[in-house]
Amino acid sequence: MESFLQNPLPETISELEAQIAVIEAEQKRCADTIKELMAREDFAKGIYYAQEIHELHQQKNMLETHKQYRRVRIGRLNFERGSF
């Protein structure tokens, strides 16, 4: 997990956009891992990854929330600069 997620939000749009890019890459990694785990499941043999898949979905949702906070911050910074 990225350490910047636990720090206060930055005050520059470029830093916020960079963090959004990192978050999106991590979300893609989560989605890819979910697909991989689902493909490897074999219920007939008792092979399943429900807990891991659930945790990855939770992480992906948490990352989406962090991404939305950053988008709102960008909007507020743009509004404060008068470039909305």
Residue 8 included in any domain: no
Residue 80 included in any domain: no
CA distance 33 to 69: 25
**pLDDT tops 60 at residue 84:** no
**pLDDT tops 70 at residue 19:** yes
Domain hosting 37: range is 24-75
CA distance 49 to 80: 47
pLDDT tens profile 43-76: 999 999 999 999 999 999 999 999 999 999 999 9
Residue 28 included in any domain: yes
Residue 3 included in any domain: no
CA distance 28 to 64: 11
Domain count, the chain: 1
Residue 2 included in any domain: no
What pLDDT shows up at residue 4?
Answer: 76
Residue 34 included in any domain: yes
